[in-house]
Amino acid sequence: MSNPSTSSISRTPVSPSTATNTNGSSSQLNPAQNRPGVVPTNNVSTANGVTVRARIDPTLTVNDVIKQLCVNLKIQGPPSDYALRDDNEVLVTNDNLRKMIKGNVHLHLVNAPAREGHDIAMKLTSRDDKILKTGLFSLRKYIHEREFAQEFISCNGVAELVAVIYTTHGNSLAYALLAMQNLMELDYGWSTLDDDFIFRIVKILSSPQSPINVCRPATAILKKLVEADPMSAPGPQASSSKSSPVPPPGSVYRYGFARVFEQMSREQTMLDTVVHRLGSADTAMVQHSMMLINSLLAHASENRWGQFIDELERLNVRKAVLRLMSNHTMEDLTSGILDFQANMLRVLYRKQSTPVEYGANIADLNFIWASSRLEEEVDQDNKPLKWRKLGFESEDIEQAFANVGVLGLQCLKRFVEHTHDPDFSKVVLEQLSRPAERRCPIAKASNEVVELLCQHWSIFAPGYCTSTSFQPLFLEYSKVHLLATQFFLRMWSESGSASGDFARVAALVRSQVKVSLEDEGQRPWHEVEQDFLECEYRAVRDRQMKELELEDDLLNKVPVRNLRAKIYKESYEFVRQQRLQCLLQGAWFVNAIPGTNPVPRDSVRRPTQPWRFMRLDSGLKYLHYVDNAMKFPVRNGLEDLPERIEIAAIGEIATGTGIAPPHVLRDHNDLPTSVLTPSPLSFSLISQHGASLADQIAPDESRWADWTDGLNMLRRDGGHVSSKETAGFVQALTEIGLKIKLLDLSGETIEIPSGLTAGPSPNDTNYYFSELLA
């Protein structure tokens, strides 16, 4: 490194003939810059409008460069008060100085970040609207810089910013909210935000008069508060603890769903307005609203979960998302919609695994019984005869829903509500008018359909979703259940079934579900409805017989289905670890030209080099990368990768968003990409507030699948799978593992029962548990 005292920087004033711009900057390149052995020349401007050409030694540190500039330009004050920025106001650091010198970037000698942080904190106290707007406009850009942020926070800037959010409107409020949103990307400095502030944000969002540029950052702020719960705090203890840990003093991880939802509940129109904005013409607003809803779903607390889900059902949020599935044209929304599907899968799983309790679910049970218009009786053994009339196997209503939980109860209730021509009571009376052995057990059939649909949509466990495409019928789960249960009753009647034929009719329904729901993203609802309502028994039976020739009935046994669910989770975790290993190894990508219009982020400069190598660090916290004009052998570790992107800053992984830049040399294995349309191998890392952090094009489909799914799987809620390749791996591993597990059993032709019934309870404690083979 050169000695600062040497003449490592030489400067010459810009001559009048070259200073053609009104701000004093030069538009003429130094002819010497392209000659071998000559140090590149940069134009450097000062706050008073003076522009000079400076030949900067790239071996110097930024501090040394600033010291020499201050000496040569005779600038008063200590050099530590100053910093260098480029035309985009990106701060010059030791990491990017060499690149800026080499690129002849126009530099500006400005206030140091710490000094700027102090000045802007003071500007926020001004009553002059012009000074306030100028301060807010700069704040939203500089707050990402650590020195600036630390000084701004130490000068009570956060409290002043909160005061501005309480008192301003229009563009000033939009700037203030955007500044707060950017501040909250830091993991410190905003732990003083209280419930009144949260309610202020809720009020802003719930007002239909709030403009779009105000609602976008307000939505992002609320989302960040939802995710800032103690369980999300960095560190192994936070992630592994089952009980909510107490955040240490000063930690920003002290909010979470419970605190935010408490304030949302104070404003009745809040959630209504957010759901309504899913129909906005502004794509960014739709994206922000979808991200907030997904965040609330993923972080809902135990004590308020039911209330929140009931609110979403009341607002029919699924219908709003279904409209987005059919009408959206922006790829930016795809990831949010798939996230919503994954969250709804968790909702259904939780309902299925929540047991029915007579006291807690008395209202729904009473409604079902009242709708039957039956009278409670006693049987020949003088035992109550009530629920068995509706098709349950016993009067133990809690045990009757053991396999389907609250989901089964809600589906049966909807079946009762929406059964017409004839209504539910007539359907029940029709079955009771038949001989006992010919009656279709309606309630048992409803529960069986719930299990069949859960199996079809792989509702096995929370956090495991391998759907790579839109599933509109999945979001219409209860409507599909209604159709399939009606189909079950019709098949029972048309086939003249008896009590021993229940499994056979269930197999017919399973076959119909598989056929009718195939390629559901492409089939309109009326065709699905027609399949269930009009398909004849003989046609279903013939098709099912052909299917039986190709599959083993053993795979449909309940114990085997449970085993499949267990192996499915193991397979998903195995593929997840493989994807993460690919990220840890790293890969080269093409820097894409954004094909969509994400929200701009002022502190991010578009790469000037065509190639980028990215690698995940071993702590799974940062993506490190380097841009270059050509590929080169990258050493292990992070030494060759000076730049980085924080994983926590990535809100979603959007796919099909980038266009290949022209004149980029492609490997022979790379897939050709049109210069006019987004590449199918492109993906974008979208920040929490909708900005594009990176736009890349993978060299092949396997690399694209590794990285899009790997990055999604890094998220706390598991995200969703983007590629059919990953989904296929999970399914293939599941089927192989299942067949291996069954080899011993099927080789010995052991009979696996469809279900086990517990015997009567012992009369005393004089018993022991025998050892049963697994």
Q: What is the pLDDT of residues 145-155, one digit of tens each?
A: 889 999 999 99
- Supply the pLDDT for residue 588: 94
- Supply the pLDDT for residue 40: 64
**From 208-217, 232-241, 361-370, 441-450, the region with the lowest mean pLDDT:** 232-241
How confident is the model over 546-567, as pLDDT tens digits? 776 555 555 666 677 778 778 8
Token couple for 747? 């080789």
Token couple for 163? 């005061």
Buried residues in 309-343 as b, exposed as e (16+ CB within 10 A) = bebbeebebbebbbebbeebebbbbbbbbbbbbbb
Long-range contacts of residues 298-306, Cβ cutoff 8 Å, at least 24 apart: 298/343, 298/346, 298/716, 298/717, 299/226, 299/227, 299/229, 299/256, 299/257, 300/257, 300/261, 301/256, 301/257, 301/258, 301/261, 303/258, 304/257, 304/258, 304/261, 305/350
Strand order from edge to edge, sheet including 82-85: 10-13, 51-55, 41-45, 107-111, 82-85
How confident is the model over 631-659, as pLDDT tens digits? 899 988 888 888 888 887 787 788 877 88
Closest CA to 143 of 99, 105, 190: 190
Token couple for 664? 């980029």
Q: Identify the residue with better confidence: 387 or 665.
A: 387
Token couple for 176? 């203030």
Token couple for 166? 């309480």
* Average pLDDT for the chain: 82
| Residue 184, amino acid | M
**From 71-80, 97-106, 273-282, 714-723, the region with the lowest mean pLDDT:** 714-723
Tell me the CA end-to-end span of the chain in Å, nearest whole number: 70
User: Has this prediction a pTM greater than 0.75?
Assistant: no
- For residue 351, pLDDT over 90 is answered with yes
Residues 6+ positions from 391 with CB-CB distance below 8 Å: 431, 439, 440, 441, 442, 443, 444, 445, 446
**From 36-45, 362-371, 671-680, 705-714, the region with the lowest mean pLDDT:** 671-680
Question: Where do the domains of the chain lie, and which CATH numbers do they carry?
Answer: 10-111 (3.10.20.90), 115-232+251-331 (1.25.10.10), 362-551 (no CATH), 569-726 (2.30.29.30)
- DSSP letter at 387? G
How confident is the model over 507-516, as pLDDT tens digits? 899 999 999 9
Q: Identify the residue with better confidence: 353 or 564.
A: 353
Pairing label, strands 611-616, 643-646: unpaired
How confident is residue 289, by pLDDT bands cut at 50, 70 and 90? very high
